[in-house]
Amino acid sequence: MKYLFLAILIISTKSIYAQNISGRVMSYSPVVQEINVRLLNTNFRTQADSIGHYHLENIPAGIYKIAVTSTGFKSLTQKITISEDQNLNLDFELKEDQNELNEVVVSGTLKPVKRLESAVPVEVYSPTFFKKNPTPSIYDALQNINGVRPQLNCGVCNTGDIHINGLEGPYTLVMIDGMPIVSSLSTVYGLSGIPNSLVERIEIVKGPASSLYGSEAVGGLINIITKNPTNAPVFSADYFTTTYLENNLDLGMKFNVGKKATSLLGINYFNYDQVVDKDNDNFTDVTLSDRVSVFNKWSFQRNHNRLFTIAARGMYEDRWGGDIRWEKKYRGGDEIYGESIYTKRAELIGSYQLPFEEKLMLSFSGNVHYQDSRYGTTSYIANQKIGFLQLTWDKKIGRNDLLAGIASRYTYYDDNTPATNEAESTWLPGIFVQDEITFSPKSQVLLGARYDYNSIHGSIFTPRFAYRFKANENTIFRLNAGTGFRVVNLFTEDHAALTGSRDVVIQNDLKPEKSVNVNLNYIQKINFGNGTFMGIETTAFYTRFSNKIVTDYETDPNKIIYDNIDGYAISQGISTNVDLNFTNGLKFILGATVLDNKNVEEGVSERPFLTERFTGTWSVSYKVEPWNLLLDYTGNVYSPMKLPLLNEYDPRNPNSPWYSIQNIQFTFTGWKNFELYGGVKNLLNFTPKQNNPFLISRTNDPFDKNVQYDANGKVLVTPDNPYGLTFDTTYVYGQNQTIRGFIGLRYTLR
């Protein structure tokens, strides 16, 4: 221990008497962007923290040029002279690059364009944002994004999906590097295991995007863009643990193979093996998990800077939840209840620019997903394969910026459920065209259309329209309208259909869902002149669904009944984000969304289950510069949601309460290349059990061996079953972990 203290003392003493440069980089940005600071022609470089502070140390005396760069902003360089034993303080203010289209966003139009120049609103979140509240998976990391809510769907195995603007997870298309990799089965189980250290940014488009991306992009899309190997750190490591003893390790490393190939390797390992039952129902509060994921991406240097990247990922997870006495020997039996899921997954992604004068891009992806699950005695063994191929042509002709493409998607699916009599193979070829017409620097129109042919359901047509008006450098309006469609497979999307606690009933042949969407987006930037910046972005949205598939939990407590709606459904509301930066290092990111979601049948309007009316998010950051200490306070708040009860006697609350998950984190950045961080999650110690007698009904009889029924199949009220309930896990709306501490260490070598 004394040697560790001596080493820290030497490092601290060295930093006092060496030449150092520190300061703050101010910039307007609606989101947190990565800011790089380096001394040209040297190895001295660093990355500013989430509020713009940077620090370079142990620099020899001399004359240098310091450069500050960030995507979407003009680069800054300044000549500086450093004398012996000098600590230099330099502040910078980045200005937006108005002349050059940077590779900022690609999800809105399938081509690189600066975010504020895109006709389609795209929200961008960099790793700097997610470091404010470190999580072991992308799924958990999205909880502090306004209008986006990770939703748990199972009170035992803790699987979930992602809601955008109150729409259920199957309406959200999740992609990796623009490829529709994370869908169907993997929406439920595949969102975990993407190494956070390899994520360059996450782009979110709210509203239908089927005219570019086809099925599933009905409510919006989330595009997880991984780092370019040539720009990635040489080595990075991030490890943290919690007082629940959840352990997460992210490793990233870059290496060159010859002169024209660069490879990026990432490994994520997560382990949680503690049986915790703080709500005393004899069931695990949190699913136990052992997961490993390996990601490898290659970038090849080609003539004329043509693109060629290829990446692969493999993931394996063993997770279980249930009776705290459960062991693997009980798997699939009716003695001790447990839900055990083995998941094996492999993915391949690539993009290759064809060697022609015209810009032709060939993109391809493939994945194999194998799942072996036991939900009590219910066995669910599924095998899914998806292949995707797309060719796009990008051409500028005068005022017209054209994009055309052909795509084909093949899906193979098979499982052992009674609903799947034989393996299903589906082809979904499509053709699309898009034209961005620039009438003036202030006015821009986007027209698009897509035609798909589903080998089962036939032809589907999805048009799109967008208009962007730039009133001045600080004010932008966007109007977007489009349609979406989704072809449904319940067993790959709705975990409630698999729990074994209810029988699944499909009333009729389910038709593809269709939607029409309109949204109006407004951006206002305000520079107060003293270095204080504020950005406001507001979006009003309206989506109308036809053929929406609705879930009936109430007609029969032993069944889940699915059918297309005999009417229509509406999702509408308004969402606002505010980004406020002060010169003293204080930064606020605030968000709020007001929602009105309803299903309308025969003139009767009803709010869907698990749909909030209001959601709010915030992030407050402040840097105590003398101590090299960064404070991040993050949180969210949700209004009540309608929850599924089993009958009129069910003692659980029919609606969730107002609830908030809040976190605080302290990060020490005083050691070169290292960040030491720690804090507290769920400061208010909220769990869904509060004000409820139980969450999972009849955990004492999970196989319903002692449940009695009348002649019509209705559950009888008995002394052993005073509320007339069956075993049910569908009453869940939030995470079931209490307040907990965490601590972690990051190392980055650039």
Give the model confidence (pLDDT) of 286-335 as tens digits.
999 999 999 999 999 888 888 899 999 999 999 999 999 999 999 999 99
Residue 105 lies in a domain: no
Residue 176 lies in a domain: no
End-of-domain residue from the set 62, 93, 124: 93
Residue with tokens 């000549």: 79
**The total number of residues written for the chain in this structure:** 750
CATH number for the domain including 51?
A: 2.60.40.1120
Distance of CA 120 to the CA centre of its chain: 19
Cβ neighbours for 502, distance < 8 A, ≥ 6 positions apart? 496, 557, 558, 559, 560, 728, 730
End-of-domain residue from the set 93, 116, 133: 93
pLDDT at 434 exceeding the cut of 80: yes
Residue 332 lies in a domain: yes
* % of residues, the chain, pLDDT over 90: 40
pLDDT at residue number 33: 60
- pLDDT tens figures, 537-555: 999 999 888 877 766 666 6
C-alpha span between 606 and 598 (Å, rounded): 5
Residue 122 lies in a domain: no
Cβ neighbours for 463, distance < 8 A, ≥ 6 positions apart? 211, 448, 449, 450, 482, 483
C-alpha span between 434 and 10 (Å, rounded): 61
Number of neighbours of residue 571 by Cβ within 10 angstroms: 25
Cβ neighbours for 242, distance < 8 A, ≥ 6 positions apart? 681, 740, 741, 742
Average pLDDT for 590-605: 90
pLDDT category, 96, cuts 50, 70, 90? low
Average pLDDT for 511-522: 85
- pLDDT tens figures, 176-198: 888 877 655 555 555 666 767 77
* Domain count of the fold of the chain: 2
C-alpha span between 323 and 271 (Å, rounded): 19
> Do residues 234 and 87 share a domain?
no
pLDDT at residue number 4: 43
Q: Are 526 and 534 in contact (CB under 8 A)?
A: yes
pLDDT at 469 exceeding the cut of 90: yes
- pLDDT tens figures, 136-149: 888 888 888 898 88
End-of-domain residue from the set 60, 78, 93: 93
Residue 631 lies in a domain: yes
Cβ neighbours for 545, distance < 8 A, ≥ 6 positions apart? 218, 513, 514, 515, 565, 568, 569, 570, 571
* % of residues, the chain, pLDDT over 70: 85
Please count the CA atoms within 13 angstroms of the CA of 710 that sit on its side-chain side: 7
For the four alpha carbons of 418, 419, 421 and 424, in that order, the dihedral sign comes to negative
pLDDT at 255 exceeding the cut of 50: yes
Please give the sequence-ordered ranges of beta strands (E in DSSP) within 670-717, or none if there are none. Answer: 674-681
What is the b/e burial string over 691-717, where b = at least 16 CB atoms within 10 angstroms of the residue's CB?
A: ebebbbbbbebbbbeebeeeeeeebee
pLDDT category, 557, cuts 50, 70, 90? low
C-alpha span between 366 and 385 (Å, rounded): 7
- pLDDT tens figures, 221-240: 888 888 888 778 889 999 99
Based on the number of CB atoms within 10 Å of its own CB, is 510 exposed (0-12), middle (13-18) or buried (19 or more)? middle
Please give the sequence-ordered ranges of beta strands (E in DSSP) within 184-287, or none if there are none. Answer: 199-206, 220-226, 235-242, 247-257, 261-272
Residue 203 lies in a domain: no
Boundaries of domain holding 420: 226-749
pLDDT category, 5, cuts 50, 70, 90? very low
Cβ neighbours for 626, distance < 8 A, ≥ 6 positions apart? none
User: pTM to 2 decimals?
Assistant: 0.82
CATH number for the domain including 475?
A: 2.40.170.20
Q: Which of 29-33, 98-102, 152-156, 437-441 has the lowest mean pLDDT?
A: 98-102
Dihedral pair phi/psi, residue 664, rounded to 5°:
-135, 140
Residue 129 lies in a domain: no
C-alpha span between 468 and 457 (Å, rounded): 35
Cβ neighbours for 334, distance < 8 A, ≥ 6 positions apart? 376, 377, 703, 705
pLDDT category, 174, cuts 50, 70, 90? confident
pLDDT at residue number 378: 86
pLDDT at 613 exceeding the cut of 60: yes
Q: Which two tokens stand for residue 146?
A: 């306004």
Q: Are 403 and 430 in contact (CB under 8 A)?
A: no
Determine the 3-state secondary structure of 132 from DSSP: coil
The helix (H) or strand (E) run that includes residue 616 is: strand 614-624
Residue 106 lies in a domain: no
C-alpha span between 141 and 126 (Å, rounded): 11
